Chains A and B, each alone.
Chain A
Amino acid sequence: MNTTIMLFLVQDGITNGAIYALLGLALVLVFAVTRVILIPQGEFVTFGALTYATLSAGNMPGTAQLAVVMGVMAFGLDLFAGRRSLHPRLVGRAFAINILLPVAIYALTSWLAGKNTPIAVNIALSLLIVAAIGLFLYRLVFQPLAHTSVLVLLIASVGAHLALQGLGLVFFGAEGQRGPTISDAAFMVGPLRFTGQSIAVYAITIAFIVGLWLFFGLTLYGKALRATAVNRLGARLVGIRTTLSGQIAFLLASVIGALSGILIVPITTLYYDTGFLIGLKGFIAAIIGGLVSYPLTAVAALVVGTVEAFSSFYASNFKEVIVFTLILPVLVLRSLAAPAVEEEKD
């Protein structure tokens, strides 16, 4: 094998793997806190990327309207859930989060759209919009089901994925889009060319991994989030607001998803349904990490990215087959090592 080609493939694999790592981390985060296996993670990626691309092209993205509609529905659900004790403070708070926030984002977006805004502003707007969608998605879909089994949550998650992917087609059309790069800088190390974009990918991934690891391992609040995952009732009894934990997890996941989308959309063309596949590769990493370990997930994501890069070079037809069957040996190992733990499930 040619060393240069190998180095290229490794570099390519690591860049992709870093994105999968980000997504895998978000999946682990959401699962650890809410027990939801977040299939719509892929939609956060496409929504983030295509919102950013649409804004950069000077158009108004449909996701901003979606945030408003979901906010109104969440407000309705909040009022209905709290109908027996409607304090003005409760209503005011729900109104501020569910109505004022998305409307403000929408107003800001429509005011800035087409004004040739700088890249940083477009990124911030995209993140805001997707974050709001993530927050309301938890409120509308998962909060009412929070007491049910992992399985019910998983099926609901698939439902949310279907709906959001369909909406993605409505908002962004069937055409693929690309967005402007964050930085055009580039330098050479030996035969390898490093772009500012790929450096940004590495830096942000590492920052998130370290950040999440520290947050969950060391801070009281991170531990509270984890306690929610293990035992909701127990967590509530010791004063943890489980609903808030879920909201924070979804907020973080949607921001991470959108950010990954924004990071890759300058490198590859994204379609409304690309996110699903990208998200699933993050999944494979998360599964290898056992849905609990952040560092292991990150390492596994790099392996997935590298395997993908090599198989697209040597057997491009079977790239997806190879990546998705990668999970089988992992599952075999897990089933051999699986301790006989009784799960009380229903």
Chain B
Amino acid sequence: MTQRLLPISIFAALMAVIPLIPGMPPFWIVLLNNIGLAALVAMGLVLLTGVGGLTSFGQAAFCGFGAYTTAVLSTAYGVSPWLTLPLSLLVSGGAAVFLGLVTVRLSGHYLPLGTIAWGIGLYYLFSKLEFLGRNDGITGIPPLSIGTLKMLDAGTIYYAIWIAVLICALLSMNLLDSRTGRAIRALRRGHIAAEAFGVQTPRAKLLVFIYAAVLAGLSGWLYAHFQRAANPTPFGAHAGIEYLFIAVVGGAGYVWGAVLGAGIVVILKEILQSYLPLLFRGEGQLETIVFGIMLVLLLQLAPTGVWPWLMGRLPFKAARKRPDTSLTLPARERPAAAPGALLQIDNARKQFGGVIAVNDVSFDVQAREIVALIGPNGAGKSTTFNLITGVLTSTGGTISVHGRNIDNAPPQEVVKLGIARTFQHVKLVPDMSVLENVAIGAHLRGHSGAISSMLRLDRSDEAKLLAEAARQIERVGLIDQIDQPAGSLSLGQQRIVEIARALCVDPMLLLLDEPAAGLRHMEKQRLATLLRTLRDGGMSVLLVEHDMGFVMDLADRIVVLDFGTKIAEGTPDAIKRNPDVIKAYLGAAA
């Protein structure tokens, strides 16, 4: 048994024993069932909101899809509950595809607002449709049964619910700890960095949206067979808010936080509902007041939730396994005799309204060459980078790689050609380890999808990716920091991590945006040595840099931009004496 599965097995054994304890009040079992049902929905939210950064207030509606699908099919058509399970999941997943296509492309706060709106809309739809029984809902849903065992009481369906919770927790953790999982975890930091390494961000968002909806649908299906009835109330806007509350309480970034949060919230709600009216002699809904106030306090005092706080208190820490660096990924096929330059830029132009950021700039980068792009601030250097990598679409001109035109190809296509980049403003995921951040660079060199990751069929593929990442980290000299969260490194080191991530692409051309900024003298020398080694190994480098000593020492050729226009090109010695360059940097000679 691996170290990963041990705590889960203990937890499973513990949960299996609880209903067997003599004298266990049946009411407690019902509570545990409710906790399990809520945990399933919250687990989806952990992946969607805590990990992926997409907030949804509408998860309760997906529970409704799951519950109503089985309610209608098993009562009106007499379909067996086990047959309705895949259909329930399909309906909630299908609804997620439709709503997801509409909403996940929205930035930031539009998504949660959209989910509130359709969450309420669907609630009203459930309560008005004739065949769903309007406000009264559907009753008389048959119980789950295996052979002759009918799961009529809370104590037997308890096992069905908690087995589902455990399986889903395992699948979710497997998914997060994989190639696809890293892509999902990178979403929260914006899409540009992820796309630069080939992640199809809209697809990753849709995937996690569907996953969360399917978990909610499963919860709804179980709910319908547990209550043996379905009505609109538990699928309304307030339930949707409560699920989000559960995820936040437990710790929105942690799978087990969902289970813990569900336990805390369901039990707390029960206590509040039974004791608050006694304390205040008031009419109902007092618990919503306390709930609301607690949600606000929690965000102010402990925004990361209870689970990470609890884990931080554990006396032992889980040891991380170092990847086996003997495994290798196949290297990129390099054209033997390259036709033309590696990178050829002809009259590239970018206008933002009336501003010409890049004004008909032409230059090339040959194989095994280090070219530096320099110029005063605002000269258009980073914009040129963004044109090459497909982040921005050009207004005119052509950009080609090995003679092939790549104009306006999206970033995911550009990186496939072997062009990898770093960013002027570091774009790492701060709470992921250095290893995981760097492994995103190898995204396109792995093949496992979400399903195989969940089922752990991706291990050999995954081991190779991590091995490659570890090798590149070693190459750039950060092996001692490999398990640290990327956000804890100094800014200079984070730039080096970005270089390691770019190297994971196995690039032919490396684009470095101010790699030496924030580095100390010794670190700069080490970086220069590394870049020379890479060039001698056959790679080309195009870099933007302000440290002139660094550039003059390292570059084979220098291109100088000023106000978006190329003013000079040549060897470092020629550039140093070029009067136009001196004028651009120092102003006209007095």
Contact = CB atoms under 8 A, between A and B. Distances in A.
A45 B299 CA distance: 26
Contacts of A144: 300
Contacts of B288: 162-163, 165-166
B550 interface: no
A215 B159 CA distance: 62
A168 B103 CA distance: 33
B583 interface: no
B116 A280 contact: yes
B107 A320 contact: no
Given A155-B295, A287-B113, A321-B124, A338 B289 contact: no
A332 B102 contact: yes
Contacts of A338: 105-107
Interface string B268-306: 000000000000001111111111111110011001000
Given A166-B289, A327-B118, A155 B248 contact: yes
Given A174-B283, A320-B120, A345-B53, A283 B291 contact: no
Given A162-B288, A162-B291, A318-B124, A328 B102 contact: yes
A284 B121 CA distance: 12
A280 B117 CA distance: 8
A152 B299 contact: yes
Contact of B110 (A158, A163, A169, A334): A334
A166 B286 contact: yes
A119 interface: no
A96 interface: no
A167 B53 CA distance: 32
A320 B299 contact: no
Given A155-B244, A321-B125, A328-B118, A162 B292 contact: yes
Contacts of A154: 55, 109, 112
A323 to B, nearest CB: 8
B121 A321 contact: yes
A158 B190 contact: no
A150 B109 contact: yes
Main secondary structure of the interface of A (DSSP, over half): helix
A320 B289 contact: no
Interface string B541-578: 00000000000000000000000000000000000000
Contact of A170 (B103, B282, B294): B282
Contacts of B300: 144-145, 156
B343 to A, nearest CB: 23
B125 to A, nearest CB: 5
Interface residues of B, number: 51
A325 B115 CA distance: 11
Q: Interface centre among B120, B189, B191, B430, by most A CB within 10 Å?
A: B120
A28 to B, nearest CB: 13
A194 interface: no
A344 interface: yes
B108 interface: yes
A324 interface: yes
B397 interface: no
A20 to B, nearest CB: 14
B108 A150 contact: yes
A331 B57 contact: no
Contacts of B292: 158-166
Interface string B183-224: 000001111100000000000000000000000000000000
B136 to A, nearest CB: 14
Contacts of A342: 190-192
B188 A283 contact: no
Interface in B428-445: 430
A151 B102 contact: no
B173 interface: no
Contacts of A148: 299, 303
Contacts of B124: 318, 320-321, 324
A263 to B, nearest CB: 24
A325 B118 CA distance: 6
A341 interface: yes
Interface in A332-346: 332, 334-335, 338, 340-346
B232 to A, nearest CB: 12
Contact of A169 (B283, B293, B430): B283
Contacts of B284: 169
A342 B427 CA distance: 11
Nearest to B303: A152
Contact of A331 (B102, B121, B291, B296): B102
A55 to B, nearest CB: 22
A37 B112 CA distance: 10
A141 interface: yes
Interface in A269-299: 277, 280, 283-284, 287, 291
Given A165-B292, A328-B102, 8 more contacts: A155-B299, A158-B241, A162-B292, A167-B289, A277-B120, A283-B113, A318-B128, A327-B118
Interface of B: 53, 55, 57, 102-103, 105-110, 112-114, 116-118, 120-121, 124-125, 128, 188-192, 238, 241, 244-245, 248, 282-296, 299-300, 303, 430
30 contacts: A141-B296, A148-B303, A150-B108, A151-B53, A155-B248, A156-B296, A158-B57, A158-B295, A159-B292, A159-B295, A162-B241, A165-B288, A166-B289, A169-B284, A169-B285, A174-B283, A280-B116, A287-B113, A287-B117, A320-B120, A320-B124, A323-B121, A324-B120, A327-B117, A328-B118, A334-B106, A334-B110, A338-B107, A341-B107, A345-B188
Counting from the closest, the 8 A-B pairs by CB-CB distance are A163-B292, A162-B292, A159-B295, A324-B121, A166-B289, A166-B288, A335-B105, A320-B124
